[in-house]
Amino acid sequence: MYFDERPKSKREDLYDREEELEELLTLIEERKPLIVLKGIRRLGKTSLLRVALNEAKVPHVIVDLRGVNPNSRRDLYLRFQSALNDYLLRNKPIAKKVKDALKMVSGISVSGFSVSISWKNLETLYSLISALERENFVIALDEVQEARGLVGKELASLIAHFYDYGEVTFVLTGSEVGLLYDFLGIDNPRAPLYGRAFHEIELKRFTREQSIEFLREGFRQVRFYVNDEILKLAVERLDGIVGWLVKFGVLSLRSGASREVLERVLKEASALVLSELDKFLDKRFIARKRYLIVLKAIASGKATWSEIKEELERVEKREISDGRLAGILNSLLKASLIEKVVEGRNVRYRIVDPVLEFALRRRR
């Protein structure tokens, strides 16, 4: 079933991701120490990850790091605890064996169907991973770039330790690709993971043809007829971002596929992306207004360096240094909110998500 907004867990519910799935399966089966799955939001990374882990038939935990407190070891440990308990609850045949192994670990208590992890000492998490390693667990960290500050450093150090001295497979997913690379320490010799080789898989948005066919097949699955013109219009407005295409499919099945439903999708999706943008801007409170000016300029088509700078200076009524503008653009690139488009000798910037572009054009 393509039109289900929950993460997928079966191969037949994925559309046209065979190549990426087979590559990820091979890497997991070969027990590669560090696998990175990257791509902008709503392309189906979590679905691909779940399907691969289910098909590989390996014990695993998927730790959701979205919104993790960068200064709270407690938050990090509770997320590991929740992920492990969720897996054990759904996989009772292996649960007893794992719990018996964890009873021997200092800082971990087992009671009935649940495991409790003490966050007093950093060593507890190392001991937990060691115990799971003996049971051949794969550790997946979803949206790992959100682990920053103290939490990010400790988590990266833990991965580096098991990379060097263990046999654990870690799968990291990330939507903010520049920040994901910061976590991996690609250009930072002081970073815990600097110099460690990793295998990278990139999920890309669907092409126009793939997007139209995805919608067609999704509607065919439930014997729901939709005129091709509305499908083409939906793809034109939502691009090849599968999450938005699924949302259009879901709402169309409830209310009929129409321009009005497409506008509703854009309205609801706009509220979501603006909420996500506000979280990004909240961390940059002092320069919040400046970031918005730059984003709105790009969304409105003022997309070259000189055009963006001219618009920023026009609004602020003062000169802006190249260094300040470069810092803003670099932050937006790292967060995968914008991307560079090179056309010959010219470089332009564009908003990655068409829904965010739509929302920015209408935001006051």
% of the chain surpassing 90 pLDDT: 93
DSSP H/E element including 117: strand 114-117
pTM: 0.94
Tens digits of residue pLDDT in 291-312: 999 999 999 999 999 999 999 9
Residue 121 has pLDDT above 90, yes or no: no
Tens digits of residue pLDDT in 163-213: 999 999 999 999 999 999 999 999 999 999 999 999 999 999 999 999 999
CA-based R_g, the chain, Å: 22
The token pair at 63 is 């730790």
Please, are residues 75 and 151 in contact by the beta-carbon 8 Å criterion?
Answer: yes
pLDDT at 120: 86
CB-side exposure of 187: number of CA atoms within 13 Å? Answer: 5
Which among 148, 208, 168 has a CA at the least distance from the CA of 31? 168
